[in-house]
Chains A and B, each alone.
Chain A
Amino acid sequence: MEKCKSSLRHLFLMLMLLAGIQCLSAQQISVTGTVTDPSGEPLIGVSVIASGGKTGTATDIDGNYTIKVDSKSKLTFSYIGYKTVEEAVNGRTAIDVRMEENSAVLDEVVVIGYGTMDKKELTSAISHVGEKDFLTVSSLDPSMMIQGKVPGVSITNTGAGDPNNQASIQIRGVSSRSAGLGPLIVIDGVPGGNLTNLNPNDIQSFDILKDGAASAIYGTRGSNGVILVTTKKGSKDGAVHTSYSAQLSWDKLKNELDMMDADDYRQVRLGWGDTGVDLGGNENWLDAVSRTGFSQQHTLSVSGGNERSNYRVSADYRYAHGIDLRSKREEYGARASVSHTTKGGLFTVNLNMAPRIIYRDNADWGVFKNAIEANPTTPVMDPENPGRYYNFQGQVVGYNPVENQKLETDHADTKLLDWDASLRLNLLPLLAKNLSNHTLNTQVSFADHQYSNNNSWFRPSTSTQAINAGREGEATRSYSKERQYIFEWLTNYNTHFGQNNIKAMAGYSYQYSQYSGFSAENKDFPNDGLGPDNLGSGELAKEEGEVLMGSYKNDAKLIAFFARVSYDWAGKYLATASLRHEGSSKFGANHKWGNFPAFSLGWRISEERFMEGTRSWLNDLKIRGDYGETGNQNFDSYLSLNTMSGFGYYFYNGKYFQVWGPSKNVNPDLRWEKGKNWNVGLDFSMFNNRFYGSLNYFNRRQQDLLGNYKVSVPPFLHDETYVNVGTMKNTGFEFDLNITAVQTRDFDYNFNVIGTWMSNKFVDFSNSQYIGQDYYNGAGTEDPYPFYDLQRIQKGESLGNFYMWRYAGITPEGDWLVYDKDGDIIRASQATDADRAIVGNGMPKFTMSTTHNFRYRNFDLSLFFRGAFGYDIFNIHDFYYANRNFTGNRLKKAYGKNFDLNPQANPVVSDYYLERGDYFKLDMVTLGYTIKLPQTRFLDRIRVYGSVKNVFTLTKFSGVDPSSYQVNGLYPGTLNGSGGRTYFPSTRQFIMGVQVDF
């Protein structure tokens, strides 16, 4: 017993000893302290995390914190907008920290093609727009969040009130005639993405590669610029963050055209004895075809992890209906991203996945045109047959716009799936130990896109349009599919020795895309209840000679080898050179592969010894210049090949044979449009980074522009060949200035001003081999007036030239007078084509925007203005509606300033209708309130905000909102590139949103 007791005592002593050792090795102490900003004010909610990430806390309302940690551990203090501070505990029990603000300007990480760089190292023109600068607009198209925010990037959305309308993006001018004009979209490094598959709340930043040196790494797709989208990734602070955000918005139509109402119609129009019929009704057709647009969006996201393994998952739902009666969009999607680095940093695995389902009902933009010009005495329903809509047969308005939306269906189901996976191997640890000044890794990645669209359209037999066409219902179905996969292999090597820093990258890329689809239509169905879902039951297909169906399939391959080397000496002298050797299956056999080189140089003058005297106020000053060659291969497949296709019929052996022959002239020289771009720029930051910005001058010359050229027959089989001829030039100057005017604890005010001067020139339509004509006309007017082109694209002139007669007054009878080519006044009816002249230009010479951000305590206010100057618009609605000749409803102006025009005379395409398009608008106001709740049990932070979009516009233009006119593309200053009058009315949007972080 005694023995047993002593052994127990020994055991107990042993345990005590062990516990003591335990205590010595990890002595837990309590550390307290205060965290303040540089002015000594306490910072609330700073996260304090002990090394290992197992314990953490946040500072309270007085900036105080208490944490129990190992006496030998390190504490990490982090707070948004401030530099992260690390303090070793070393047994101290009180650690006060003064945090310094992040001079985010210079250390901002900018995403470049196949890599990233600090902003201070950049030697080319790349614009970075982070989340804090996004507009809180409600739109399906994430690019609308940066509309007007980047100099040189023109983002226009002429149908912002249509929930299914995507914006048009054009970077540094028009660069092609018949190949695509849109930039390449790269989402998380995967080229060829679609912005519609992005939830705006998942986007962390946009980086826009504007100049040739930056975009040349994307070779044959770089000419129109590149937009790199970076999505949010898992958090690395060891905590799990949950966030919910919701946004509601309402769109109100702006009635901009002062049309006659039913009373005006009866009293004024019919009162003057002008053409018109009183149909007995009293209708405001614009009200009848529109409603208040509405949208709601909800996003839930969870992110967590640490430096080695992290994840982020988000899911969203969005519903929107437009200001017309039919358009609707309902979508839901998700995005998951997982990253993991294995033990010792050997492998890093990344996986991203983003599915999305969209159900759409499409708007018919024509309903607004019809509503505007419908006779206001037309009733909506037929008074003699109240169950049926009023039949517009015989009116200039082709159909009843209410009926069109209520009876017809135009539906689409879209499915999008983007996913990619990459595996990076860190080679250096395998090769040698302790090589801290080298990194070498190699990465393979695979990405896949699958997009599909299933469309259906149906018009029932009760529709007056079906009745007028003699049809018992009409229906169309179509399906289109796009698949794309990309395999890439990249190797990165970085090293520094002495003052030399070298970064090198080499890679291979293989991209395959395939497009296919089919469509079928039929008419005369036995029952309207079948809708578009039983095409086979229609009668039309039983008739002989009706084809009623079609299908297509094509594919394309892009293969590239590329490399880039960046070198800098002491961060002072910077140089980058890159080369992409790329081929596309679309190119002709003689030019399958092209080389796209680029180089850029930068000199950070502020780092020089002789600038030491300026260090007190000048933080950074860099001049840079670059040159890059880019390509554009955005045209159809199979254009270079010798293919056969069907033509007419020949009667032979008692049977009609469709004859077949070569479908086009073979062009084995077909190749990319080649862009030669150079850019010089200056970046600066001064007064403790409170004033920073960039200036850029660019010159882009696009050669080998594609087009159809006349050739002689023989030797050619066809009289036109699709060839690379033609040259276009864009030059411009961009500036971007950011100023932090006031920065105190309670009040901040910062603002920026950005602007772009642009000019364009179509240098030539010909080369030594092919002689094209020196001009061609475009943007023609439409019925009911004679067809005249508004614009002429001419050699040596800018795009957007309005080319028409010059107005010289009217005769006493109200007939049009114009100047002839000699300056003499003649009647418009006698004027010829030769009397037309360049009278204006629809391309804005100067576009600008300015953002003003105010913060008072927890309130923030942001004002965003933008404008375009130095251009003309042909007031298309005045041309059609403001005269007593138009048979549809007229503008009140027809009986005001244009009353004297002869009612028998068609309006004449002349500079009478040309007006200055200059405008300046308060595009967005956002007022927000943020509360941080580090002490509450369930929440971290709440932000509520309200915005108004399109608040007011200052302009002398007398027509609709000048931003309804398209300024991108080949015919700027017109409605969507044509001389038609169809447009989507502009809207004012009211937005309310909330974001809750848990």
Chain B
Amino acid sequence: MKFLRNIAFAALGVAALSGCTNLDETLYDQVGTGNYYNTKNDVIRAVFRPFEHAYWSIQSRHVLNELTADQLITPTRDG
């Protein structure tokens, strides 16, 4: 009986071990920030993220300047 109780406690102990209560997520199709910076290109990509909007909005302003009339309008489809 003591033997069985020992088994039970041992089993409970095993269950309480980290493997059985570990809830960390494994990322498969995404990359965590902690594991992102590995190559030079990773750094380049991250560095330019804040400038991306500026790049495209400046470019479209340039397009705007080339249009001579009111080609850029917001059409209303109401009614």
Taking Cβ atoms with an 8 Å cutoff, the residues of A that contact B are 427, 430-431, 489, 508, 510, 516, 551-557, 559, 583-587, 592-593, 637-638, 641-652, 657-663, 786, 829, 906
Residues of B within 8 A of A658 (CB): 45
Q: Is the CB of A650 within 8 A of B52?
A: yes
In the complex, which residue of chain A has the Cβ closest to the Cβ of B43?
A: A660
In the docked arrangement, what's the CA distance between A647 and B36, Å? Answer: 15
Interface check B64, CB cutoff 8 A: no
Would you call B33 and A642 a contact (CB within 8 A)? yes
**A431-B1, A555-B28, A642-B32 known; A652-B48 Cβ under 8 A:** yes
Which residues of the other chain, A, contact B15 by a CB distance below 8 angstroms? Answer: 489, 508
Complex: A838 Cα to B26 Cα, angstroms: 46
How far, in angstroms, from A105 to B31 measured CA to CA in the complex?
57
Give the Cβ gap from B65 to chain A, nearest Cβ, in Å.
Answer: 19
Instruction: List residues of chain B with CB within 8 A of the CB of A647.
Output: 49, 52
For the complex of A and B, list the 3 residue pairs with the smallest distance between their C-beta atoms, beginning with the closest: A661-B49, A553-B28, A650-B48
* Given the contacts A508-B15, A638-B27, A559 and B78 also touching, CB distance less than 8 Å: no
Q: Report yes or no: B33 in contact with A551, Cβ–Cβ below 8 A.
A: no
- The residue that B33 contacts in the complex, of A657, A662, A906, with Cβ under 8 A, is A662
* B75 CB → nearest A CB, Å: 13
Q: Is the interface of B mostly helix, strand, loop or mixed?
A: helix
Assess the A651–B33 pair: CB atoms within 8 A: no
Specify which chain A residues have a CB less than 8 angstroms from the CB of B77 in the assembled complex. 786
Interface of A is mostly: strand
Q: Contacts A643-B31, A650-B55, A786-B78: A659 and B49 contacting too (C-beta < 8 A)?
A: yes
With a cutoff of 8 Å between Cβ atoms, the chain B residues found around residue A643 in the complex are: 27, 30-33
Which of A583, A649, A906 is B23 in contact with, Cβ under 8 Å?
A583
B46 CB to nearest chain A CB (Å):
5
Return chain B residues, CB-CB under 8 Å to A642: 32-34
Q: Given A657-B44, A659-B45, do A585 and B21 touch, yes or no (CB 8 Å)?
A: no
Interface size of B by CB at 8 A reads 36
A252–B58 Cα gap in the complex (Å)?
61
Residues on A with beta carbons closer than 8 Å to the beta carbon of B9: none
Known: A555-B28, A637-B25, A650-B52. 15 other contacts (CB 8 A): A551-B29, A553-B28, A554-B29, A557-B22, A559-B20, A585-B23, A585-B25, A638-B25, A644-B31, A657-B44, A658-B45, A659-B46, A660-B49, A662-B33, A786-B77
B41 adjacent to chain A (CB < 8 Å): yes
Say yes or no: B23 contacts A592, CB within 8 Å.
yes
Cα-based distance from A551 to B50 in the complex (angstroms): 27
Residue of B nearest to A555 (CB): B26
- Across the interface, B29 reaches (CB within 8 A) one of A552, A557, A906, namely A552
Q: How far is the CA of A929 from the CA of B77 in the complex (A)?
A: 64
A-facing residues in B38-68 (Cβ within 8 Å): 41-42, 44-46, 48-53, 55-56
Are B25 and A661 in touch, CB under 8 angstroms? no
**7 sample A-B contacts, Cβ–Cβ < 8 Å, listed by A number:** A556-B25, A642-B34, A643-B27, A643-B31, A650-B48, A657-B45, A659-B51
A658 and B49 CA atoms in complex are apart in Å by 8
Please determine whether A559 and B21 come into contact, CB atoms closer than 8 angstroms: yes
Chain B contacts for A551, CB-based, 8 A: 29
Nearest residue, chain B, Cβ from A554: B28
Q: How far is the CA of A829 from the CA of B79 in the complex (A)?
A: 8
In chain B, what residue has the closest Cβ to A786? B78
- Tell me whether B29 and A553 are in contact (CB under 8 A): yes
Whether B24 sits at the interface, judged by CB under 8 Å, is yes
CA distance A362 to B30 in the complex (A): 31
Q: Which of B1, B15, B28 has the most CB of A within 10 A?
A: B28
Bound-state CA distance A348–B41 (Å) is: 60
Please name all residues of chain A whose beta carbon is closer than 8 Å to the beta carbon of B25 when the two chains form the complex: 555-557, 585-586, 637-638, 641
Contact A645 B30 (CB under 8 A): yes
- Minimum distance in angstroms from B12 CB to a CB of chain A: 9
Contacts of B27 in A (CB 8 A): 638, 641, 643
How distant is B8 from chain A, measured CB to nearest CB, in Å? 8
Q: A650-B48, A657-B45, A659-B45 are in contact. Are A786 and B23 (CB under 8 A)?
A: no
A786 touches B48 (CB 8 A): no
Chain B residue, CB-CB nearest to A653: B44
- Whether A657 pairs with B32 at a CB distance below 8 angstroms is no
Q: How far is the CA of A385 from the CA of B41 in the complex (A)?
A: 57
Nearest to A640 among chain B residues (CB) is: B25
B4 contacts the other chain (CB 8 A): yes
Q: A508 CA to B15 CA in the complex, in Å?
A: 8
A659 partner residues in chain B, CB cutoff 8 A: 45-46, 48-49, 51-52
How far is the CB of B22 from the nearest CB of chain A, in Å? 8
**Which residues of A are found within 8 Å of B4, using beta-carbon distances?**
427, 430-431
- Identify the closest chain A residue to B35 (Cβ): A644
In the assembled complex, which residues on chain B have CB atoms less than 8 Å from the CB atom of A644? 30-33, 36, 46
Chain B residues contacting A649 (CB-CB under 8 Å) are: 52
> Smallest CB-CB separation from B59: which chain A residue?
A651
- Tell me the bound Cα distance from A665 to B69 in angstroms: 42
